[in-house]
Every structure is written in C-alpha cells, then in structure tokens.
Structure 1
Amino acid sequence: MTLCQELTSASGDTFETDNIKMYWSLGEVVCETFTEGDLILTNGFHQPTIIISKISKSEHSTVKVYPNPTKNYIYIQQE
C-alpha cells in the first residue's frame, strides 16, 4: 500500500525556476504551522520537502523504540 498526498481543489499549479519550486492550490480553508524551538508541526496539502545532506552518529544520545513487534502502541524513549 502506498500513501501519498492527494488534493481535490478548485484550482492549482506548479511554477519552477533554477533554484525554486512553488506549488499552490485554491480552496484549502484552514492551514497553520506551529513551531517550538527546532520542532515544526505543519498541516495542509503542500508540505515542505526535507533534504538530509549529512547523517552523523551522535555519541550523546540513545533512542529506544519498543515493543518490537507491536500491534497497538509504540514507546519512544530518548536517553
């Protein structure tokens, strides 16, 4: 199963130049972005693209995710 963003709206388009790409749609009534420090929570049909340029191993933190396998819930613990 593949999930992707889909939108049925009155209108929309895409514009692209060498260093910018812009998407727009008409008819999305409610859209808001919340930020708290480095955390960003956004909703809506057009989501920002995240590009990871480098992954470094951190020696200062450990993340535990359990149980594995899981059916109804998952715990995420950072140390």
Structure 2
Amino acid sequence: MNIHILLILVVLTGAQLQAQSIERQIIGSTGASFDNGTIALDFTVGETAITTLKGDTFNLTQGFHQSTYTILTIDPDTPTIFSMYPNPTSGLVFIDGEGILETEIYSITGQKVYKTNTTRFDLTHLSSGVYIARILTTTRSITKRIVKE
C-alpha cells in the first residue's frame, strides 16, 4: 500500500516540474547602456543586493554586470630585461634595456611630474620622496618605484 502511494506521489510531483531560466537582468534605481560598435558600457546605480553563487559549472553574481567572455589564449609573461639605476637617486637616473620608448615620472598622488624619451634623465628639480616611473617599451608598459633623496 505504501509503495502505491509513493509511486503516485512521484508521478504527480514529476508532472508538476517546470523548467526555469535565469535571464540576465539588473534591477536598480537608475542606469543606462551605451554601445558605439567598439565598446559597450553598462552601468546601474542603487543595486540593492550583492551576492555570488558558485558551482562546478556556473558562477552567478547578483549585483554586478556580468558579461559573457571567452578566453582565446593565455600568453606566458615574457620577462623584459632592463635596469634603472641608481635607486635611490640624488638626481641623475639611467635606464638600460631594449625597446624603451619613453619614461614618465609620477608623484605618489598620481600627478605626472616629468616625461622623457631618453634613457638618461635628471630629477634634481624634484623634491625628495617616492615617485613612480612608468617605462613604455615597444611591447609593454613597466611600472617601478624610484626614490629621490
């Protein structure tokens, strides 16, 4: 008798199942979407909740825009061999390396204070402190800390 009731319950429960789908949508107080053919920008203000659910085959994040993406290849990070000396410096700085196009020096607050396209430059006009050197090469941009005494 119990088997018959259990069988009837399983059949009736299976008949009531419906498939669900999760649409990509965001609910917020305001927001917009812009697309110029090259870049797409979506933003939302006032999202009420942020949560992330992860499984073996999915990653569902509520509260942030999620786009579809495909990883084509991952190139190994090829090291760029160069040296910047002396560091710390009292003024004159040398950079040795291949493919160096220009060097920009930024203050710790992010303000650009010096720019040069030579591999030898003078920082005596700058006050003592910590600066960020951004070295642009033919293949990448490298950021290093430089101390001016």
The TM-score, its normalising length taken from structure 1, stands at: 0.40
Which one has the bigger helix percentage? 2
Greater relative CO, 1 or 2 (CA 8 Å, sep 6+): 1
Which one has the bigger strand percentage? 2
The TM-score, its normalising length taken from structure 2, stands at: 0.24
Q: Choose 1 or 2 for highest CA Rg.
A: 2
